[in-house]
Amino acid sequence: MSRLAKKPILIPAKTEVSVGQGLVRVKGPKGELSRASHPQIEVMVGADGVSVKPRSETLETRALTGTYVSHIRNMMQGVTQGYSKRLAVEGVGYKWDVAGKILNLSLGFSHPVKVAIPEGLTVTVDKSLLTISGINKELVGQFAANIRALKRPEPYKGKGIRYEGEVIRRKQGKKAA
């Protein structure tokens, strides 16, 4: 069994966890999240916190136990603190803006790129920085990765979309003869 699953997960203040009908629900000050539980994993809420145990000792259930502990911790952190990712755009003429639930990107293509913002995410633009925030860690990370994939940073001039603080390894390019 995973080391994470050996100790119960402490429930933060102002957070409620309930288990029933194959779902784990976490409710906190920022919102509510739910996740379907695997039939081979048993999730129990007690006085000391949430405990996750495998129903059988197979390799798959031992791996899933640690995964579900991480999912539940991420859900608890999401409904209490939330998650955010920041993206930076670099390049001449590269820009973005938010119009309602649509993110408009100008990335040097012959046409503007429009991306629908998923439900449950908040996207704000501040010059060359884009902040994606929400309570679901997977949704925030996946949306940020999808935006970055539209124009990855290139190694010669560093133009493109990158995470804030991400270091792009630069190549030297052609030398003059």
Rg, C-alpha atoms of the chain: 21
Q: How many helices (H) and strands (E) does the chain have?
A: 2, 12
CATH superfamily entry for domain 4-80 = Ribosomal protein L6 (3.90.930.12)
- 80-134 confidence digits (pLDDT tens): 999 999 999 998 989 999 999 999 999 989 999 999 999 999 999 998 899 999 9
Contact predicate 89/25, CB 8 Å? no
Give start-end residues of each CATH 3.90.930.12 domain in the chain.
Answer: 4-80, 83-163
**pTM higher than 0.85 for the full model?**
yes
The topology under which CATH files domain 83-163 is Outer Surface Protein A; domain 3 (3.90.930)
- 121-171 confidence digits (pLDDT tens): 999 999 889 999 999 999 999 999 999 999 999 999 889 999 999 998 999
β-strands 23-28, 31-36 pairing: antiparallel
